[in-house]
């Protein structure tokens, strides 16, 4: 099992459309930890840790459900050998 941490920045009309709440709701169905937050530049940042295939499915569901608001997303992957963030939450800073 490969545990990764992924940082993804979603661009488009992603603030003010329930993006963070939808992402947090989706996260409840996956074994992932991390956070989602609005950035000052109007984008949304997702930081998630989990098994590689689980993260693929989690991110695919976010993209499918929020597709009409997303213009693009940039993803960075780190292999972190099993470290995990506690739970999944919406961050407000």
The residues carrying an active-site annotation are 20, 38
Q: How far apart are CA 76 and CA 53, in angstroms?
A: 15
Q: Where does residue 12 fall: left (phi above 0), alpha (psi -120 to 50 degrees), or beta otherwise? A: left
Strand order of the sheet with strand 44-51? 70-79, 3-12, 44-51, 33-38, 88-90
Mapped onto helix, strand or coil, the DSSP state of residue 36 is strand
């Amino acid at each position: 099992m490969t545990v990764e941490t992924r940082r993804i920045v979603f661009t488009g009309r992603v603030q003010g459309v329930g993006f963070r709440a939808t992402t947090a709701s989706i996260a409840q169905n996956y074994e992932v930890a991390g956070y989602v937050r609005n950035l000052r530049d109007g984008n949304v940042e997702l930081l998630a840790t989990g098994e590689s295939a689980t993260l693929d499915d989690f991110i695919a569901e976010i993209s499918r459900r929020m597709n009409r608001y997303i213009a693009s997303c940039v993803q960075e992957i780190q292999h972190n050998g099993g470290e995990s963030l506690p739970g999944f939450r919406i961050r407000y800073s």
